[in-house]
Copies of this chain bind each other. A is one copy, B any other.
């Protein structure tokens, strides 16, 4: 294979992760167009020159690591399991806000006296029957082994499995498991107990890149910049509304001052205040105020506006909030020394 000149971003193929990744990118303004449902390539018009591929989340980490991919979206769990120690996998964004789950240690409910990892560490040396160590079924052998050693749960043997880990203890395939959970219902249905302090890693979707490509190819660096601009501005905007209100007052300064007195008001730099014209005419007593407010505080903010004479509060959605250069891009340049 000759040296590539294209720029590649791999997205998870199949399942909830694929649809969530596509929905997320679309919401960011990074719509993915797949000209033909039977081909494996797509493109994102907002990032010209970027080729999108679809792969399994685990293969994405390996591909970014070995350099056959420039960018990828995958979960923290698989990234930490497969990124290796050479630093080839650079994490551009570690909290895209979807694909959340946890990797946890779980034991049969019936195990007497084992409720926490500490209990397990105490009992592990004596547990094996007939010389066989504690058998842990998992799909995450790197993370699980590291965790067990850190917590001094020894000796142990890891048993790989393709699926249905949660039945492994019941059928004697293993003694306990280290598995992904989201709601815990599956564990409970199979009479397994997640151990206290037994969360190995909390995972969500991340954007990763090949470090060498970022350093060597300016067009890859530029694509990272563009992706982070859209993603950061979108995620910030997710939390906010833009609020237009009318307020009665003597002057623009007085209005601004009243607003500063309220804890949940005050825009990014301070409110915009303009005159409003009423049918009554005559001397101006009304001003239009325009501020950005956090979504979760919208009702409290409105109540504060009312308290200081505001009314006619109109709230509109926000698509993006851009600040200075994307924080993560700045950090990346520092780390790469560029």
Which A residues fall within an 8 A CB radius of B? 1, 4, 8, 13-14, 29, 35-40, 45-46, 53-59, 62-63, 66, 68-69, 129, 161-164, 167, 170-173, 175, 183-185, 189-190, 226, 229-230, 233, 237, 240-242, 244, 246, 252-253, 255-257, 259-260, 266-279, 281, 286, 288, 290, 292, 295-296, 298-299, 302, 306, 311-325
Contact = CB atoms under 8 A, between A and B. Distances in A.
Nearest to A320: B315
Contact of A314 (B63, B189, B253, B318): B318
Contact of A230 (B63, B255, B257, B299): B299
A36 to B, nearest CB: 4
A319 to B, nearest CB: 5
A161 to B, nearest CB: 5
B54 A164 contact: yes
Contacts of A323: 311-313
Given A271-B276, A312-B268, A189 B324 contact: no
Contact of A276 (B1, B269, B288, B316): B269
Contact of A53 (B171, B189, B315): B171
Given A57-B162, A315-B321, 8 more contacts: A29-B298, A38-B189, A69-B171, A242-B316, A273-B274, A273-B275, A313-B322, A317-B319
Nearest to A57: B162
Contacts of A53: 167, 171
23 contacts: A14-B163, A36-B184, A45-B296, A54-B164, A54-B167, A56-B161, A59-B163, A63-B173, A237-B315, A242-B244, A242-B314, A244-B290, A246-B268, A246-B269, A257-B277, A266-B279, A268-B311, A270-B277, A272-B274, A273-B277, A306-B325, A311-B324, A312-B323
A45 B295 CA distance: 11
A68 B276 contact: no
A62 B302 CA distance: 35
A260 B279 contact: yes
A155 B123 CA distance: 47
A56 B292 contact: no
Given A173-B68, A272-B275, A13 B189 contact: no
B164 A319 contact: no
A138 to B, nearest CB: 13
A306 B322 CA distance: 10
Give the residue among A242, A279, A313, A322 with the most B Cβ atoms within 10 A.
Answer: A322
Nearest to A10: B171
Nearest to A234: B315
Give the residue among A62, A163, A190, A324 with the most B Cβ atoms within 10 A.
Answer: A163
Contact of A163 (B56, B171, B173, B274): B56
